Structure 1
Amino acid sequence: MRAIIGIVLGCSLAACVPSTHVGRSAADLVVLQSASADTGCGGTTAGLTFRRVFQDGNGALQPFQIPADRSLLITDVDWQYRHPNGGAAAGRRIVLRLFLQNLADPSHQEVVHESTIIVNEEGEGGVSEAMTTGFVMTDEAQLCLDTGEEPKGPPLGLQHTILRGYLL
């Protein structure tokens, strides 16, 4: 029975890797959580360090780096925001912009995703977005975030960001 299955699938049982609902192996799925802000993107944007969250619930100790021979397709973005003026900012529109910045020439950066929320009566809001096509990045770029608001991050401002996608 096993030999027949291997022939039908076109692979030996040892070479077949179960794929997920997105047609990728589970090892290629990536969940990244913002870990700490740094000053890598300059200007009005804040570069963030992202750490990978593994399938067993553990987080990587080191910042995530895309392998040199791979690309990362980001398909989902979650973010939460807390306005420094609290309830006085109720109803205010906050736009999170994601940029890719070229590491060789940081003057080159382009917006790859925008997400909008309206903060609630406490001045807080968040959203989880699944993109139709997403965006691809390599190890030659870093991801930068900007809400156009100060402060940039915890305890006020952008609270955290979670990215989901997979390696190509």
Structure 2
Amino acid sequence: MKTSNLFEEELALTPVIGTILMILIVVILASVSAIFLFDLGVSDEPPQASIKGTLGSANTGNFNVIMIEHQGGSEVMLNVATTRVEINGEAVNLDALAGANVEFEAGDVLYLVKNGSSTPYWLLQTSNSGGAQENVLGSGDTVGVKFIDINSQAVISDFEVSF
């Protein structure tokens, strides 16, 4: 075998590996560009929910409460890190809810009570808890209730309840 034929007949492997690496780099760059271009990353959109409030009465006393019903749409995670609930601009205490993350889903009912403490308004999962110590509304009163997504500062729901 001649030495000159040895080098002329073998195909080089380096161009094949180089081509594969270049194609791989192009695919990765195209993927990253598509993620930024089409915003396929994590969404910061607030939940879209239909929430309605009506006047009700506490089962443990003669005090009125606001019954808040989730009528449809996205679930709303109720905790101090994701959702703020306000009544006439005043924060509602979420500490009385069972668990750190309460999923407020379609068909669920919560109760907004007034108990006269330093944070007078509380959101409860039952009207039997004895939290109501005062009427939320007096005769002729109207209050505004807002559910606000903390991350986007968007209003999830805004409604009024009248006595």
* TM-score interval (norm. to shorter): 0.3 to 0.5
More helix by share: 2
More strand by share: 1
Q: Which structure is richer in relative contact order (CA contacts within 8 A, separation 6 or more)?
A: 1
TM-score, L = length of structure 1: 0.36
